[in-house]
Amino acid sequence: MNKKVLGLLAASAAVASTAIFASPARAVKQNVNVNLTVDEVLYLRTFEDVELRVSQSELGDGNPEAESEAIGTTDGTNQLDVTGVTVGDESDATFVTKEVTELYAVYSNGDADDIDVQVTVDPNGRVLTNVDDDEFTAEMSIENDDILSARNDALDEIDYDDGDEAKRIGGVELRFDFFEDGDENPPQAGRYEGGVIVVEAISQGDFAPTDDDF
């Protein structure tokens, strides 16, 4: 076989090889759906301190008048009978409940119905102690943590100066049980300190896909 023939065969093989690799590969394609979930953003505003006061009427039968009595007549020299009086005889309640009508406001980029606010007593802040006599204490508990402010009905009408509007405004009712040396007892007058409550806003929104989405 002469060189000319060999050259033609080699050239033909090269052309065939090029044609094989240059031809289009088999292709398939599929549309892929893309979804995006935006997490709910929560912002909580509350008070730093809650200062409550218990009046005499709240510890007794609702009579706001101070207990008193007037006996006999004095010519200016008579002495009062100072025996036999039980102070607080009408005020014998061993617990009181106090309502904080507005304790928190919650802001969110989600639906107000998807927000749950829970108010709990911190385990380390359950007992308040009389600062003048630590034998007297008050144990705090939550009587009602689902008090909504009347302003919830008018949130859309409140001027927020171009800021986000609150999604929920609410409060709490606290209960205080009084003790002396661990025994249930009407409270000693004075200031009780040490209570701590926790306000937590929780998103209940469920944005996960369901079986119907597939």
Q: Is residue 67 part of a domain?
A: no
Using an 8 Å Cβ cutoff, are 175 and 84 in contact? Answer: no
Tell me, what amino acid is at 138? A
Residue 189 reports pLDDT greater than 70: yes
Q: Which of helix, strand or coil describes residue 213?
A: helix
Residue 127 reports pLDDT greater than 90: yes
Distances (CA, A) of 76 to 70, 71, 73, 79, 80: 15, 14, 9, 9, 11
Residue 104 reports pLDDT greater than 90: yes
Residues 140-158 pLDDT 10s: 999 999 898 888 877 766 6
Q: Is residue 69 part of a domain?
A: no
Residue 16 reports pLDDT greater than 60: no
Pairing of strands 192-193, 183-184: unpaired
Range of the domain at 169: 38-56+88-214
Q: Is residue 137 part of a domain?
A: yes
Distances (CA, A) of 137 to 128, 134, 188: 6, 7, 9
Determine how many CB atoms are found less than 10 A away from the CB of residue 125: 13
Residue 6 reports pLDDT greater than 70: no
The number of domains in the chain is 1
Q: Is residue 20 part of a domain?
A: no
Q: Whole-structure pTM over 0.85, yes or no?
A: no
Q: Is residue 152 part of a domain?
A: yes
Q: Is residue 44 part of a domain?
A: yes
- 102 or 114: which leads in pLDDT: 102
The residue-averaged pLDDT of 36-62 equals: 86
Report which listed range, 29-38, 51-60, 190-199, is most confident: 190-199
Q: How confident is the model at residue 70 (pLDDT cuts 50, 70, 90)?
A: confident
Computed on alpha carbons and rounded to an integer, the radius of gyration of the chain in Å comes to 39
Q: Is residue 77 part of a domain?
A: no
Task: Give the model's pLDDT for residue 82.
Answer: 81
Tell me the backbone φ, ψ of residue 5, rounded to 5 degrees. Answer: -65, -45
Q: Is residue 30 part of a domain?
A: no
Task: Tell me which H or E stretch contains 5.
Answer: helix 3-22
Q: Which residues of 37-49 are buried (b: 16+ CB within 10 A; e: fewer)?
A: eeeeebeeeeeee
Record the tokens describing residue 138, joined without a space.
């008050």
The residue-averaged pLDDT of 160-177 equals: 84
